[in-house]
Amino acid sequence: MAAANPWDRAAEPNAAGLLLDRFVASGLVTQEMLNISKKSASCFVNFSRLQQMTNIQAEIYQKNLEIELLRLEKDAADVIHPSFLAQKCNALQNMNNHLEAVLKEKRSLRQRLLKPMCQENLPIEAVYHRYMVHLLELAVTFIERLENHLETIRNIPHLDENLKKMSKALAQMDILVTETEELAENILKWQEQQKEVSSCIPKILAEENYLHKHDAIMPSLPFTSKVHIQTVNAK
């Protein structure tokens, strides 16, 4: 419990209080001066605040250290945590037991590996028969498509070269299509010309027959034939 201030007039009367009462009564000290003396200095208040801030920063630093330690413990839990170490020890023990069993049965295992496994029936429980049927169907399908898959894998390194060849082939096809279109147009033009020629042939034959008839008449009628020939030529 804090001790009472001997200069506080409101406290229990003592010698200091009585002396201050006499000073106030005589006018040497005023009540305002006594009140100011009761107030704590501002510098001491700032010191106390600074001490509080220092304590809070120290506490924050301590909490950060604890958080960092917890993070490290979490990251290294699989190495240093007892439960994880126990699981690893159990796994290693099981592996050790398995290896010991393999070493004990080494001779029989070697004989089984040397013995061919052809035409032997593997015992399978009835519950798994339908799954085995499905598995065999998948195996047959996979074996049928295995060659195609292997060919696809072999062609992967040459994919860029094959794409270049395809691009060249497409360009050549475009050129051939253009040439084919031009050739079709020429054929159509030739067919039209042939139609025109075939339509003109009867006229040419009729004119030739007409000329042959008049050539036959010309020796007997020379003057008339000359006039007729000039007329035909004029036509």
Of the residues 77, 108, 125, the one at which a domain ends: 77
In a domain, 42, yes or no: yes
**Do 62 and 106 fall within a single domain?**
no
Whether residues 57 and 32 share a domain: the answer is yes
Assigned domain for 189 exists: no
Q: What is the pLDDT at residue 42?
A: 57
- The pLDDT assigned to 232 comes to 43
pLDDT along the chain (235 residues), means of 10: 49 65 74 64 68 90 91 75 79 90 85 69 78 88 89 81 87 92 92 83 75 60 44 45
Q: Is there a single domain that holds both residue 85 and residue 71?
A: no
67 in any annotated domain: yes
CA gap 6, 19 in Å, rounded? 11
Distances (CA, A) of 59 to 4, 56, 101: 34, 5, 58
Q: Is residue 51 part of a domain?
A: yes
Pinpoint the alpha helices (H) of 115-158. Answer: 129-155
3-state helix, strand, coil split of the chain in percent (to 5) is 80, 0, 20
Verify that 55 and 28 share a domain, yes or no.
yes
Q: Which domain holds residue 54?
A: 19-77
- Residue 226: predicted pLDDT: 44
| The domain boundary residue, chosen from 58, 77, 96 | 77
Clarify whether residues 49 and 63 are in a common domain.
yes
The answer to whether the beta carbons of residues 214 and 229 sit under 8 Å apart is yes
Q: Determine, yes or no, domain membership for 34.
A: yes
pTM of this prediction? Answer: 0.26
| Whether 86 and 108 share a structural domain | yes
In the numeric block, the tokens 């007729």 are attached to: 228
- Cα 166 to Cα 155: distance, rounded to the nearest angstrom: 14
Residue 23 covered by a domain = yes
Contact call for residues 30 and 20 (beta carbons, < 8 A)? no
Does 85 share its domain with 72? no
- Residue 139 resides in a domain: no
If asked whether residues 30 and 53 sit together in one domain, one would say yes
Q: Per the domain annotation, does 9 fall within a domain?
A: no
Instruction: Answer yes or no: do 73 and 85 share one domain.
Output: no
**Direct distance between the N- and C-terminal alpha carbons of the chain, in angstroms, rounded to an integer:** 155
| Dihedral-angle region of residue 162 (phi above 0 means left; psi in -120 to 50 means alpha; beta otherwise) | alpha
CA distance 139 to 145: 10
Query: pLDDT digits over 136-161, tens only?
Result: 899 899 989 888 888 888 878 777 88
Q: How many domains does the chain have?
A: 2
Query: What pLDDT is attached to residue 62?
Result: 92
State the pLDDT at residue 175: 93
